[in-house]
Structure 1
Amino acid sequence: MLQIYAIPVSLYSAKLRILLRHKELIWEEIPPPGGYGSMEYRQIVPAGNLPALRDGSLLLADSEAIAEYLNEVHPVPPLLPDTPAGRAIIRERSRYHDTRLEPAVRALFPYMPERKRSGFEAGRHADVLTDRLDGLGRLLEKAPPSEMLTLGDCGFPVTLCWLDLLIPLLGLSVDIPATVLEYRDGLYRHKAVAEEMAEYCPKLTAEMKLWEAE
């Protein structure tokens, strides 16, 4: 059985669970020993990041590497198109999530406790998020998503769930483009996405209330 080191509200852990659900794989979820980033966990995963996958003697600790590996080992249903150009477009979308949109969202995490919002530059963060969301909208216009759930899609439902909660919490003036909202709604029609987000979003809401009260 596959084992994954993960925590419930980790963005990239949820991204991996969407993929696992879509592939109809069975896995055991293990919290990182000693907690996320601990020295105990780093003895297993040197980078200390989540998620990590153990499949027999193989240990992988990068969500993209894990996704590519699982798609090769369990090719049905496929998560990448069958042409080089199609695969490149999907990888471009996935990289955009991991290197552009998600880091802009993650930059808001330190400000979730109300006591840490002194000096919070709401306008600057809103401008960055607006730019990243507009960029995603342009990517989707250039290469409209198909009915197929792909490797490039699995991270976006989670990150957009965070945005739905963080924008009003931090009073950010950010409008999510209609193209992005349509894309999100389309992703939710996939069974694997709907199942993961039905569990994930309530847990995130509860955790954010605790973080906000810190």
Structure 2
Amino acid sequence: MGSLTLGQRFFDNKLGVLIAGSYQNTYRGSNSIFYSSKVVPTAQYAAITSKSDREYSEQQKRYGLFSKVDYVIDSRNKLSLFSTYVNLTNIQVRDEVSTNFSTDYDPDAGKAQLGYSTRSRLTEQQIYNGMLRGDHKLFDDKLKVQWSAVYSSAENDVPDNTTISLNGVRDNFVDNRTLLTNGTPLTHRWERNTDEDKAGYLDLTYTAPVAGVKC
């Protein structure tokens, strides 16, 4: 984890440059439990049919960059360029063990049907924003003109989302994996979506004296 900021003006303070950046790399883990249930017509309450124990291991890398460059043409004209970039990379592994309470379940004898699932997922998110702005004063500073051209883009990319599922059994309180599940024991999924925006803005301010007072 760290950050750095640098700034300086050049050419008799006409050109200014400011650059800032930060980086963060964290690891964390978590656990959760989910229960599934169904309604039994003859029972007063819903019956719990299975329990899923999930364990997450996650690495998150974040970094961001910001820059500003401005140039003072003269006392009445100035140009500025702003740029921002942020990135988040998330690497996650989820291990899940499901216990079936409906089939061959005998807690006293330590018997149950189990299900194992491992998911590995990589996610990368990026945002960029750039703005060019001009500030001008005209007609003895009576008219102020500020214009800006803005470009923004965002991207969410999941190049790898893989899940593998296996059957398992608990016998005499000992859990073991057995076979791949029927159907689709191994799945791969890829996702990517982007967004882009372009915009322009113009702001005019005119100051005129009214009864000797500027307004």
TM-score range, shorter chain: under 0.3
TM-score, normalised with respect to structure 1: 0.18
Question: Which has the greater radius of gyration?
Answer: 2
Instruction: Determine which structure has the larger helix proportion and give its number.
Output: 1
Instruction: Determine which structure has the larger strand proportion and give its number.
Output: 2
**Greater relative contact order, per chain length (Cα 8 Å cut-off, separation 6+):** 1
